[in-house]
């Protein structure tokens, strides 16, 4: 039977998506038709915000920031609203997961993974609600001159343009909106055109939680015209972007004109360094291979797609990875037995297939996978998980973020060589270390040029900073540093006597 997701659309009561501007939901002149990545079926339509719509949204956010009351509201009232919102997310978790499955095809079975769950999004709101009455400035003693008071204040940064990718909308929505709202900012949010329905629902729940009109505005649509209009708007104070390195670079350029503050969470080519003394080679292979197969099919920024494996355990590692690749199941994302999603669109499918051909042309050995699925799956963007062995780190498949189910395995002989290969990349988002030697683990954790290092395992959590070295980004999300990134630091001074300062 040919795969279809249409019945789930009816069950979830999917309606056409609208913009939210200044507290009013409204349609736009043009609409985007979303096609499901597993079936190519038309799922629904939502508004494409034009330049004019984006201007209205930014002005609504500007007004809500400049005239209040959100930025100057009492800490207690913002805490209550964010906590109420966390509870609403938990209550609507099943509905949101269903909408996500209609958006990007991520299977419901993936809900077990905390890092991409609705539950982590709720916890991130709780976590940032906790900072609201705790982050402040300092009172500093005079350095020279007369007796005076010097203080610092943390002020909300202003109007934030928050731009999301398609692959992990729950957690990324929360990583931006929670600290921005906690700090007292107002927001214009643009989700990916490939994952808008679940985000539209998350925004409706913000209204239900009591976020005042104009504080969060929603502009749906693609990069051109919607994203471009947003990042170029002169009344935006900060851009918080998660997505590809290429778009990240455009955003840095676009921000120069009015010196907007910029936070970027970009791509990666994260290594997994597997030493012969790893507690369990099979588990290391499952972790690395799992991150390029389970749920997102390698479409995860921090997936450990570059396994660096000590030569004596190379074959054991590859054999386990191959076994896991064979166990991955595809199909209806609402079926609990389905473990992985298709590639998000035809463009990405072509890109991934191109990299697989390139790997073979450059001499990497394709151990398994790398084929499009046929039969009932032919209409979808499905690719079987691919493993390349005998890879050199200068091959294209080891250098570029493929963003698909492709694992490259590069052998190494000793620790120094492993670190050299691991750091020989333009990216620096994450790294995995698999060893039983605790001193080696900490030695290498310090030497690796990556924002997050997992020693025999890794887990994203709301209070932990997350972000990239090098071209993987600018700044950190998660924890206190994320909250502070939505503030400006202001110094206020006052003489306490008539003596000159
Ligand atoms: P993308 O860069 O194509 O799109 C991201 C967002 O930017 C979308 O909303 C898109 O509409 C918008 N956009 C596109 N062109 C734009 C423009 N010119 N101006 C303004 N906005 C524009 O990325 P994607 O395919 O949605 O996501 C995949 C990428 O995201 C990968 O590179 C992945 O590594 C990265 N990612 C990073 C993290 C992280 O935390 N570091 C997390 C998830 C995904």
Tens digit of pLDDT for each residue in 181-202?
999 999 999 999 999 999 999 9
Whole-angstrom distance, CA of residue 445 vs CA of residue 406: 25
The CA 244 to ligand 1 mean position distance, Å, reads 4
Q: Given the residues 301, 341, 401, 477, select the one marked as catalytic.
A: 301
Residues 444/273, Cβ–Cβ less than 8 Å: yes
Q: What is the pLDDT of residue 87?
A: 98
The CA 297 to ligand 1 mean position distance, Å, reads 17
Enumerate residue ranges in the chain where pLDDT < 50: none
56 lines ligand 1 (CB under 6 A): no
Sign of the dihedral through C-alpha 245, 110, 89, 178 = negative
267 lines ligand 1 (CB under 6 A): yes
Q: What is the pLDDT of residue 500?
A: 67
Question: For ligand 1, what atom is nearest to the CA of residue 403?
Answer: 31
Q: What is the pLDDT of residue 291?
A: 84
Residues 131/125, Cβ–Cβ less than 8 Å: no
Whole-angstrom distance, CA of residue 6 vs CA of residue 8: 5
Q: What is the pTM of this model?
A: 0.97
Element (DSSP H or E) covering residue 204: helix 197-209
Residue ranges with strand state E in 19-87: 19-21, 24-26, 30-35, 42-48
The CA 189 to ligand 1 mean position distance, Å, reads 13
* End-to-end CA, the chain: 82
Instruction: Specify the DSSP class assigned to residue 211.
Output: P
Q: What is the pLDDT of residue 501?
A: 65
Judged by phi (left if over 0) then psi (alpha if -120 to 50, else beta), residue 407 lies in beta
Please name which of 272, 267, 289, 273 lies closest in space to residue 384, comparing C-alpha atoms.
289
252 lines ligand 1 (CB under 6 A): no
Q: What is the pLDDT of residue 1?
A: 62
Edge-to-edge order in the sheet of strand 487-495: 139-140, 148-156, 487-495
Question: For ligand 1, what atom is nearest to the CA of residue 221?
Answer: 11
Question: For ligand 1, what atom is nearest to the CA of residue 429?
Answer: 41
Q: What is the pLDDT of residue 447?
A: 98
Residues 31/209, Cβ–Cβ less than 8 Å: no
469 lines ligand 1 (CB under 6 A): no
The CA 266 to ligand 1 mean position distance, Å, reads 7
Whole-angstrom distance, CA of residue 216 vs CA of residue 58: 10
Copy the structure tokens of residue 258. 């009015």
Please name which of 194, 198, 252, 11 lies closest in space to residue 89, comparing C-alpha atoms.
198
Residues 19/53, Cβ–Cβ less than 8 Å: yes
Angle at 478 between CA 73 and CA 118, to 5 degrees: 90
231 lines ligand 1 (CB under 6 A): yes
Domains of the chain: 46-266+473-489 (3.40.605.10), 271-449 (3.40.309.10)
Smallest CA separation from ligand 1 atom 24, residue: 165
The CA 250 to ligand 1 mean position distance, Å, reads 11
Residues 278/310, Cβ–Cβ less than 8 Å: no
247 lines ligand 1 (CB under 6 A): yes
Assess whether 301 carries a catalytic annotation: yes
Question: For ligand 1, what atom is nearest to the CA of residue 467?
Answer: 41
Residue whose entry in the numeric block shows the structure tokens 């797609």: 305
Copy the structure tokens of residue 81. 């609203």
């Amino acid at each position: 039977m040919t795969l279809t997701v249409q019945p789930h659309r009816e069950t979830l009561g999917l309606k056409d998506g609208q913009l939210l501007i200044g507290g009013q939901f409204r349609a736009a002149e043009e609409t985007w038709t979303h096609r499901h990545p597993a079936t190519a079926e038309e799922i629904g339509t939502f508004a494409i915000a034009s330049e004019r719509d984006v201007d209205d949204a930014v002005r609504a956010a500007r007004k809500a920031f400049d005239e209040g009351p959100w930025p100057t509201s009492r800490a207690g009232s913002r805490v209550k609203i964010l906590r109420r919102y966390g509870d609403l997310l938990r209550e609507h978790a099943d509905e949101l997961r269903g909408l996500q499955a209609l958006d990007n095809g991520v299977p419901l079975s993936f809900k077990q993974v905390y890092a991409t769950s609705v539950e982590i999004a709720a916890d991130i709101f709780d976590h940032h609600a906790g900072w609201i009455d705790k982050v402040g400035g300092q009172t500093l003693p005079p350095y020279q001159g007369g007796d005076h008071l010097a203080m610092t204040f943390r002020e909300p940064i202003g109007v934030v343009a928050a731009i999301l990718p398609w692959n992990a909308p729950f957690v990324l929505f929360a990583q931006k909106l929670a600290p921005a709202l906690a700090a007292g900012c107002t927001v214009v949010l643009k989700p990916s055109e490939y994952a808008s329905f679940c985000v539209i629902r998350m925004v409706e729940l913000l209204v239900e939680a009591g976020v005042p009109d104009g504080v969060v505005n929603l502009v749906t649509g693609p990069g051109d015209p919607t994203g471009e209009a947003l990042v170029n708007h002169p009344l935006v104070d900060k851009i918080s972007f998660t997505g590809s390195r290429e778009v990240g670079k455009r955003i840095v350029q676009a921000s120069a004109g009015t010196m907007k503050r910029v936070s970027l969470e970009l791509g990666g080519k994260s290594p997994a360094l597997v030493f012969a003394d790893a507690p369990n080679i099979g588990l290391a292979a499952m972790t690395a291979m799992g991150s390029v197969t389970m749920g997102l099919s390698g479409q995860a920024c921090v997936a450990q797609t570059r396994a660096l494996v000590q030569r004596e355990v190379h074959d054991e590692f590859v054999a386990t990875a191959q076994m896991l690749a064979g166990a991955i199941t595809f199909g209806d994302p609402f079926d609990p037995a389905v473990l992985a999603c298709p590639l998000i669109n035809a463009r990405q499918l072509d890109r991934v297939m191109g990299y697989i051909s390139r790997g073979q042309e450059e001499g990497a050995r394709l151990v398994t996978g790398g084929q499009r699925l046929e039969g009932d799956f032919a209409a979808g963007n499905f690719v079987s998980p691919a493993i390349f062995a005998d890879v050199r780190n200068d091959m294209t498949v080891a250098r570029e973020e493929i963003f698909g189910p492709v694992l490259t395995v590069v052998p190494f002989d000793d620790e120094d060589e492993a670190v050299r290969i691991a750091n020989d990349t333009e990216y620096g988002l994450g790294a995995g270390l698999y060893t039983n030697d605790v001193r080696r683990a900490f030695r290498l954790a310090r030497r690796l040029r990556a924002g997050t290092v997992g020693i025999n395992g890794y887990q994203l959590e709301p209070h932990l900073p997350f972000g990239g070295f090098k071209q993987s980004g600018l700044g950190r999300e998660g924890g206190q540093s994320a909250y502070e990134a939505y503030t400006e630091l202001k110094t206020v001074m006052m003489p306490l006597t008539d003596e000159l300062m």
